Amino acid sequence: MSIMRSVLLAGAENAWLRERAMRTPFVRRSVSRFMPGETMEDALEASRRLITEQGTGTILTHLGENLSSLAEAAAVTAHYLELLDRVHREQLNVQVSVKLTQLGLDHGNEDCFRNLALLVDRADAVGNMIWIDMESTKYVDPTLALFRRIRERSARTGVCLQSYLKRTAADLEALLPMAPAIRLVKGAYREPPELAFAQKADVDENYFRLASRFFDRGIPPGTFLGIGTHDAALVDRLRAVAASKVQTPARHEFEMLYGIQRPLQTRLVRNGVPLRVLISYGEFWFPWYMRRLAERPANVLFVAKSLLAR
């Protein structure tokens, strides 16, 4: 792991730094490139704009994790239920992604499952989709267990897997018989070397192997892959694999974050490649922001240039 990545990930976990940075004007200005705002309406307006101007759907996620009480988890659940209803009323091509620690996972699996079930039932009723985001390694097993359980209730749910974890290949093979919906990302938490690949090249190659698995002919029909990467070389490699295996039963789309790799997003759309943009919003953006910088060091240079230009 690079020194810069280590520093940024450590910063994401630092409460002292978070409290001060979130009050600093230049930090708030820099994050606006990657997040359209802090409110649901900000995220919906950005979605409407992308749908109209670019023709891409979006995934919305309300930032925040590791809540301190079940009352907070209930409030988050109510927020997402309102979001699902808003999207349905406006008939927007917008899905929802949620972290299970937002729904009370730290306070018990059953309470978390009840909140998750409320969201999935509502998504089922309005024809939408709930994505379960993946967090640090200590949450992988409970997250996958709850995903399996909720998947029996509805197919309108998917889960995120991270290619930097050494266990992910085995996790994927265990899930594939379910014909799951998987969003594959590289991973953005600080993990020990015995659990996660330390070198970027190893993470990238594992990503390519995992994503390529979805284009095998033996994959169960209905399997779905969200290719969550901003790596242009990796995107092109996977597009070539997909083009060479047109008879695969799996469906796929590319998924990228709002404000990152905009030229690449434009190129994909112009070439008719399915693309969906993930938009994050909310007041608790600092840990998310630091992890985004750690994921792609080029973002640090971009932020520095934008600040110097002001």
Q: Each residue of 103-159: pLDDT tens digit?
A: 999 999 999 999 999 999 999 999 999 999 999 999 999 999 999 999 999 999 999
Q: Which of 165, 278, 173, 169 is nearest to 230 (CA)?
A: 278
Give domain status of residue 67, yes or no.
Answer: yes
Residue 258 lies in a domain: yes
Q: State which residues form the domain around 47.
A: 36-284
Q: Please, what sign has the CA dihedral across residues 282, 288, 293, 295?
A: negative
Q: Is residue 11 part of a domain?
A: no
Tokens standing for residue 167: 């266990």
Half-sphere exposure of 151 (CA within 13 A, CB side): 19
pLDDT at 239 over 60: yes
């200005």: which residue's tokens? 29
How far apart CA 195 and CA 165 sit, in angstroms, is: 6
pLDDT at 50: 96
Residue at 22 is within a domain: no
Quickly list DSSP for 188-254: -S---TTTB--SHHHHHHHHHHHHHHTTSTTSPTT-EEEEE---HHHHHHHHHHHHH-TT-S-EEEE
Whether the CB-CB separation of 73 and 112 falls below 8 Å is answered with yes
pLDDT beyond 80 at 299: no
Q: What is the pLDDT of residues 77-94, one digit of tens each?
A: 999 999 999 999 999 999
- 106 belongs to the catalytic site: no
Contact predicate 199/241, CB 8 Å: no
Q: Is 111 a catalytic residue?
A: no
| Spatial separation of the C-alpha atoms in residues 110 and 289, rounded to whole Å | 30
CATH number, residue 58: 3.20.20.220
Cα gap 116→151, rounded to integer Å:
11
What is the pLDDT, as a whole number, of residue 11?
Answer: 47
Residue 117 belongs to some domain of the structure = yes
Catalytic residue among 133, 171, 204, 231: 133
- In the numeric block, which tokens belong to residue 267? 């190129």
Whether the pLDDT of residue 272 is over 70: the answer is: yes
pLDDT confidence of 289, banded at 50, 70, 90? low
Alpha helical stretches, state H, the chain: 3-12, 15-21, 25-31, 40-53, 70-90, 109-126, 140-153, 168-175, 200-213, 232-244, 262-270, 286-295, 298-308
The answer as to whether 16 is a domain residue is no
Could you tell me what percent of the chain has a pLDDT over 70?
79
DSSP state of 101: G
Per the domain annotation, does 301 fall within a domain? no
Q: How many domains does the chain have?
A: 1
Mean of pLDDT over the chain = 86
Q: What are phi and psi of 228, to 5 degrees?
A: -95, 85
Closest CA to 231 of 258, 253, 200: 200
In this predicted structure, the answer to whether residue 188 has a pLDDT above a threshold of 90 is: no
Query: Active-site residue among 151, 156, 183, 292?
Result: 183
Whole-number Å distance between alpha carbons of 157 and 151: 7
Q: To which residue do tokens 């029996």 refer?
A: 152
Q: In the prediction, which pLDDT does 78 show? A: 98
Enumerate residues 6+ apart whose C-beta is below 8 A from 241.
211, 212, 215
Per-residue confidence (pLDDT) for residue 298, from 0 to 100? 52
Residue 237 inside a domain? The answer is: yes
What pLDDT digit, counting tens, does each position of 13-52 carry?
Answer: 555 445 555 555 555 556 667 888 889 999 999 999 999 9
Say what the pTM is: 0.85
Q: Which amino acid is at 159?
A: V
